[in-house]
Copies of this chain bind each other. A is one copy, B any other.
Amino acid sequence: MAIDPAPLVARAITGDRGAVAKLISLVEAGGPAAVEASALLYPETGGAYTVGLTGAPGAGKSSLTDALIRRLRADGTEVGVLAIDPTSPFSGGAILGDRVRMQDHAIDEGVYIRSMATRGHLGGLALATPLAARVLDAAGKPWVLIETVGVGQVEVEIAGAADTTVVVVNPGWGDGVQANKAGLLEIADLFVVNKADRPGVAETVRDLEMMLDLTGEMAWRPKVVQTVATRGEGIEELWSAIGEHREFQERTGRLARRREHRLRDELRNIVFARLRDQADATCAGDRFEKLVAQVAARELDPYAAAQELLGA
């Protein structure tokens, strides 16, 4: 009952939405079919420019994504969207609500929106996301937006693995200790202070600029853009800033280097996931249990037992 990815890839390349959906499910699930799909899709990719959006739950990432979709569609440009739902019990509700709102675009053939949450066999979202983005790339979407909640390290990494990474904050962001602040500063190509109609926006912009001042010499200094995404305010400025960053990267050769760096990370992730699978397989079964019993009986120490397991 294995799905043959070849006809799906052939159809997805023509922009067939059903084939795109099935292919993303296939790469999410992982396994040999996903590997085969990757090989078939890869030569068809490289045309899409990816934009990652990340920020705390409730920062307004989905509203911004929604506004960017509208901006792209106003020019008739097609766009693919991957909304990465972490499997966190805390954020599930809000994200679901946002997804429902995004269904405004459901009848627009030029927009393809997909939520991803499954953790596939190949090592979860960090592996599945670039594969899914390649499906949209191969399907001819010139822009792919990747929206993640900037909570866990994996989510931040996923948003950082884009051509342009937008970090979304709100007025008051500078207050208090936030464990992820440093991680978000590191990946940001642009900052958006969303909900900029709320008090404290000037202070937050100032704090961000000060933090950027402290970073020292930067070839590209992240812009800080103010938006009220739900009213479409500041979206033109955000869109221009994304364009400027893209142009800067293309002009300086940084885009190619950034993509190569990303491939290097992806390759490492794949190798690591394979070896993790191998570790899981090694630590199961009769042989493993027998060694555990020997260690428990103090006939063997844990390191010697590991050596025996790995020596085989």
Contacts and interface: CB of A to CB of B under 8 A. Distances in A.
A120 to B, nearest CB: 13
A304 B32 CA distance: 11
A31 B274 CA distance: 24
A260 B298 contact: no
A256 B275 CA distance: 31
A62 interface: no
A106 interface: no
A96 interface: no
B266 A302 contact: yes
A272 B302 CA distance: 13
B267 A271 contact: no
Contacts of A90: 177, 179
A268 interface: yes
B298 A42 contact: yes
A243 to B, nearest CB: 24
Chain A interface secondary structure, helix, strand, loop or mixed?
Answer: helix
Interface string A275-287: 1101100110000
A211 interface: no
A259 interface: yes
A271 to B, nearest CB: 5
A306 B276 CA distance: 14
Nearest to A260: B296
Interface in A48-97: 90
A136 B276 CA distance: 32
Interface in A264-312: 264, 266-268, 270-272, 274-276, 278-279, 282-283, 288, 291-293, 295-296, 298, 301-307, 309-310
Contact of A39 (B179, B264, B291, B301): B301
A43 interface: yes
Interface of A: 34-35, 38-39, 41-43, 45-46, 90, 130, 177, 179, 256, 259-260, 263-264, 266-268, 270-272, 274-276, 278-279, 282-283, 288, 291-293, 295-296, 298, 301-307, 309-310
